[in-house]
Homo-oligomer: A and B are copies of this chain.
């Protein structure tokens, strides 16, 4: 008789999720929640599956992290400001310590898992470099001990092979300083930004909690005469970064 009306009551898992949010709000970053999933289920008179579903929702919203076997932990964060315009200005890499330093204010930064190879077939992203063999640099960046970025760079072997660019440590000023010394100074850059959910391997390498997106930044370095000499694809923990750009009207 009465017309079926849309459900207006929240589901149980939503009420439990709201409660969990409250619990997490009062805690500092990384602090463990004072309840377990089982307790939460009992408190609300629901089954364990429902408590878990609620926890997943709150985790997806970025407020807690659910760790297998360990418990639930509050999550807050201060993202790192990554300044797209300033950080790529010539003086940053010409004499400075490299462009990563332009970001990480006073925070401990590291690079690990550096890997340099030569490959024949560049992937799609690197097609702009031309058809020849390429030097590929892969590495991972950490801030305050936490992995926040994966980066892969492609350069034509004709330019980079046998130079310091093909070594793990590229020296002061990094790759762009070396390119300048070799007569291929970047004159301008283009950055393309998208966001998406991470692939399993990325989740693993960045130790991402479930439900955390990544930013994918593709940078092209172009010389004054219009040649693309380097392409870098960066995958960033979205919660760890704010990307900032200046634009002239």
Closest beta carbon of chain B to A233's beta carbon, Å: 13
Check if A247 sits within 8 Å of B191, measured CB to CB.
Answer: yes
**Which one of A22-30, A114-122, A237-245 contacts B?**
A237-245
CB within 8 Å of B: which A198-249 residues:
211-215, 238-239, 241-249
Q: 1/0 per residue A83-104: CB within 8 Å of B?
A: 0110011100000000000000
Check if B244 sits within 8 Å of A62, measured CB to CB.
Answer: no
Q: Which residue of the partner chain, among B187, B188, B249, contacts A188 with CB atoms under 8 Å?
A: B249
Cα(A226)–Cα(B140), bound, Å: 38
Closest beta carbon of chain B to A81's beta carbon, Å: 8
CB within 8 Å of B: which A162-196 residues:
176, 185-196
Cα(A185)–Cα(B249), bound, Å: 9
- Interface: A61 (CB within 8 A): yes
Q: Which residues from B are CB-within-8-Å of A89? A: 248-249
| Given A90-B249, A249-B185: A193 in contact with B196 (beta carbons within 8 A) | no
Secondary structure class of chain A's binding surface, majority of residues: strand
Closest beta carbon of chain B to A25's beta carbon, Å: 15
Check if B88 sits within 8 Å of A187, measured CB to CB.
Answer: no
Q: Which residues from B are CB-within-8-Å of A245? A: 84-85, 190-191, 193, 245, 247
Q: 1/0 per residue A42-83: CB within 8 Å of B?
A: 000000000000000000111000000000000000010100
- Interface: A197 (CB within 8 A): yes
Check if B85 sits within 8 Å of A247, measured CB to CB.
Answer: yes
Closest beta carbon of chain B to A172's beta carbon, Å: 17
| Given A249-B90, A249-B185, A249-B189: A196 in contact with B62 (beta carbons within 8 A) | yes
Given A195-B213, A196-B238; 4 other pairs, CB 8 A cutoff: A79-B194, A187-B249, A189-B249, A197-B211
Q: Nearest 8 A-B pairs (CB), nearest first?
A: A213-B213, A195-B195, A195-B238, A193-B243, A189-B247, A90-B249, A245-B245, A195-B213
A residues apposed to B, CB below 8 Å: 60-62, 79, 81, 84-85, 88-90, 176, 185-197, 211-215, 238-239, 241-249
